[in-house]
Structure formats: C-alpha cells, structure tokens
A and B are shown apart, each in its own frame.
Chain A
Amino acid sequence: MCGIVGIYYKNKALNKDLGSMLGSMLVQMSERGPDSAGVAVYRNPLDPPGVKLTLHTADDEYDWSQFRSLLAVAFSAEAEVEIRASHAVVSTTAPLQEIRAWLELHHPGLRVMSAGSTIEIYKEKGAPREFVERFQLQDFAGSHALGHTRMATESAITTQHSHPFSTGLDLCLVHNGSLSNHNRLREELRRNGIEFQTDNDSEVAAGYLMWQLHQGASLERALNRAIQDLDGFYTFAVGTRNGFAVLRDPIACKPAVLAENDDWVAMASEFRAIAQLPGVDQATVWEPAPARVYSWGEE
C-alpha cells in the first residue's frame, strides 16, 4: 500500500513551516504505512565545494563525538556533524569521494543515506508519529520535502529498505506501487555506473532518473522517458536540488492527489494528508492524470 507525500514552496517566506507541515502530512498517512517512515528535506544549501552527507547508524550507543574527532584528524577541511536520533549530517568542504572512501574503510557500520549540497534523508522503522517526534521534524525549515510511510510487501522491514531512496547527489524519489522490470533494469544501470544499496524496486527507479539526469536530461524529460522504460505500477514524487515533480503510471491504479495555491504545491496519496495544511481552502485540488509529468521549480 504505502503513503507518499510531498510539499514544495512557491512562496519562500513559508520555508520555516516545512517540518511541521511535513510531519502532519506524514502522520495522516499512518494507516497506509505503519511499518516505517522517512523524509527527504531540502534545506540549508551549501555553496560549492560544500557537501552534506546524511549518515545512519544501527547502534543506539554509537559514539558520535569520537567520530567527530576522527573526522577532524583525517581531513584538514572544516566539518560540522549535526546529530539527530540515529542519523547525523556531516557538512564539509572535503572532497566527497575521499569522505566516502574513508567512511567505507574506517566506519563500515555507517550507512550513507544521502549526499548533495541541499538534501538530507532520515528514515527509520516504526510508526510515522514516533518518527516525527524522534527526529523533531518541526525544527526543519527548507524549500521542499518528500515523505513516505511504508507498508512492506516485497522486501523486509529494515531501515535500509525504508524510503526515500537517493542514488545520486540531491536526487530523491518516493514511490507507491511496484515495478516488474527492476531486476533487469538494475543490471543495465549498474553497467552504466549507477550504484545500488539494496534489492528494492523503488531504488531502481531513483537510479534510472539519476542516470537520465547524468545524460543531461531535465527532470521533466527524464520522467517522460521513465514512462517508456519502467514497467509496473507507480505514483512517484521526485525531488532535486531546486525541483519537485509527480508522475503516475499510464493505468493510474495507485492513488494521488495534487493541491496548489499561490504559496505551495502539495502532493499526497490521499487528500486527508493535505487537508490539515494552512491555506488549503484557497488551493485547487485535482487528481494528476495518468502518464503526465507535473513539475515545479526546475530551471
């Protein structure tokens, strides 16, 4: 089943409300996805060459202060480590490839959830309400965000199988549905240099988009190509550094509703996730048409 939500601000004065709006949307989708929850938040963009990595540990007792000192020893560049429940965001000007290699060698227990200048991804097993409280979602200010509540069907209930998935810098995808050609497509994408962390079908969709964007396609064009190349049922919400998009498969058997007013665009599996948002009475509410790409914010 699963529930997906997304919010994108047209009026940047509302950025401060991102976390509280996202949290209320996520909790409304609890019945569609009680097993795990996750969000991708686009906030505090770093100027080049700054990068952010969101790291996850399965160890409740993990010593982040020791990690912080080891990081300072290994890299001369300044680095900040912001801890949030089982996750931490590392912001640094050190080269991304070197950081990744260092993490892999010295901290194999840490999993990289996202990397980019703007994106942060948090996800964890358990009910959406617990997730919202544990990760203090109301603290987040930002330009746009995606969220997912998962009812596990095709793979295990673990943090790494939870959504959202990110397979490239600042790209994120949430998915309701299932893909049928993901195994073959994953192999093709691997041959083209896209890396995958799990056997999950939705991660393949994210990898496919990354590959298209690498080829120079715009988000809109990449999604139009996805209609041809992805086989299965899907409603996708996709985020990039500046952009936000929604796509449903040509049969449109997975639900989706869009709402837009002068201040924001919101997407959800069911309207009740949008009903709580301030300004909803001024919003146009409609069901996105099958096989049509809706996108905002991409230059």
Chain B
Amino acid sequence: MHPDGRHCIAAGVDAPLEIGIEGHVGYYCAGMNKQAHISISGSAGPGVAENMMSGTVRVKGNVSHCAGASSNGGLLIVEGDASARCGISMKGSDILVAGSVGHMSAFMAQSGRLVICGDAGDFLGDSIYEAVIYVAGKVGELGADCVEKEMTVEHRQSLAELLSAADVSADPESFRRYGSARKLYNFNIDHASDY
C-alpha cells in the first residue's frame, strides 16, 4: 500500500492482523490500534498510534508531534526521530524512540515507559504522574516536577528486555531514568491552606 501521506491509515483496527504500509503516512496513522502489528516503511505525520490499546506499531522513518499520545497499551517503535509532545498523556504503553524527541515529551504521562535512545528536548516529563522515562542522550530543561531517579538493577533489566523485544540495539547501561518527584499531584496536608 502506498498511502502518499493520506490521513487516518489503519486507524481503529481491532484484529490480530499484520499490516505493512509502504511509504509515508499523514495524520493519526494506526490510531486506537488494538491487537494489530502495523509497520510503516516511511515517515508518519502527527498523532501516530494515538490512543493505542495493544499491539505493535513500528515506524521506519521519522514521526511528527504527539506520537503515541494517550496510548493505553501496546508498543510504539520509532526508528528515526520524534517531534514535540511524544508520549503526551500516555497511560500504560511502551514507546521506544531510536532517535531524539522534541519538547514537552511525556507531558502529564500517567503510566508506561518512554525510552529515548537519542536526546530529549526541553520540558521533558512536565507534570508527569507515574510513567517512567529513560534517556541515553542529552536532556534539555526538565519539566515541572520531573526529576532524575536512581537506575536500579531492576530498571536496567526491564529496559534491556524492552530494547530486545523492540529489536533496537542500544546499551541499557547508557540510560538514565526520569520520573515524578510526586510533589505536584499529591495532596499535601501541610499545604492545605494553599489550595
């Protein structure tokens, strides 16, 4: 299939299918994906795998903004770079970017893992909840309430498994972990008068 950049290709699939897309796609490709394994041999526009529930989406090229936004489950692999707001509001999926991501990535991310083998733009993990971010390269300014955390043996083990499942070669030892300082979203009784 040669989609010539058309929008909403393979969106809303709910079946255990193998779907191969030859060429570049437009907006919302593989949106809401459930069960299917979708591979794009090209680049993708805004909102690829947005609200994915399960299955796999692999993009061989670069992707535009809001990749994997609000995704609940499944695995999104981007072999190139992702633009701004990658993994915004993710809710349990795994997103693996072999290149770099733009600004405001993992904004308000609730759960799941965002793995960035390259660099991350500014305001990474702003207002993040319980999602976990791994970055191998440089990180710009961190977002509000996002902090670097200890990389334990368990984290390295889980990251190594994810990299291997996604067939992306990167050294798990080179990653640092980021997550929520939990000061922003927890109600603090000592500050009750401030609310």
Contacts and interface: CB of A to CB of B under 8 A. Distances in A.
Interface of A: 252, 255, 257, 270-276, 280-281, 285-287, 289-290
Contacts of B62: 285-287
Contacts of A274: 5
A30 to B, nearest CB: 14
B28 to A, nearest CB: 12
A221 B5 CA distance: 33
B138 interface: no
Contacts of B23: 275, 281
Given A252-B65, A257-B45, A257-B64, A289 B102 contact: yes
Nearest to B80: A286
Nearest to B44: A271
A270 to B, nearest CB: 6
Contact of B102 (A252, A271, A273, A275): A252
Nearest to A289: B102
Nearest to B42: A285
B34 interface: no
B24 A255 contact: no
Interface string B14-33: 00000000011111000000
Given A270-B45, A271-B24, A287 B64 contact: yes
Contacts of A280: 24
A255 B6 contact: no
Contacts of B83: 252, 287, 289
B90 interface: no
Interface size class, chain B: 20 to 34
A16 B95 CA distance: 44
B118 interface: no
Contact of A285 (B6, B24, B84): B24
Contacts of B25: 271
A84 B6 CA distance: 33
Contact of A270 (B5, B42, B80): B5
Contact of B43 (A255, A276, A285): A285
B5 A290 contact: no
Query: Which of the listed residues A255, A276, A285, A289 has the most CB atoms from chain B within 10 Å of its own CB?
Result: A285
Given A271-B45, A285-B62, A290 B4 contact: no
30 contacts: A252-B83, A255-B45, A255-B46, A270-B26, A271-B5, A271-B24, A271-B43, A272-B4, A272-B5, A272-B6, A272-B7, A272-B26, A275-B4, A275-B23, A275-B24, A276-B4, A280-B24, A281-B23, A285-B43, A286-B43, A286-B62, A286-B80, A287-B62, A287-B64, A287-B83, A289-B83, A289-B102, A290-B84, A290-B102, A290-B103
Nearest to A272: B5
B49 to A, nearest CB: 16
A239 to B, nearest CB: 23
Nearest to B103: A290
Q: Report the 4 A-B pairs with minimum CB-CB distance, sorted nearest first.
A: A272-B5, A271-B5, A275-B4, A275-B5
A174 B103 CA distance: 25
B61 interface: yes
A287 B66 CA distance: 12
B120 to A, nearest CB: 13
B81 interface: yes
A205 to B, nearest CB: 22
B64 A255 contact: yes
Contacts of A281: 23
Nearest to B6: A272
A143 to B, nearest CB: 25
Interface string B100-121: 0011000000000000000000
Given A252-B103, A285-B24, 5 more contacts: A272-B26, A273-B5, A275-B5, A286-B81, A287-B62
Contacts of A275: 4-5, 23-24
A286 B102 CA distance: 12
Contacts of B27: 270
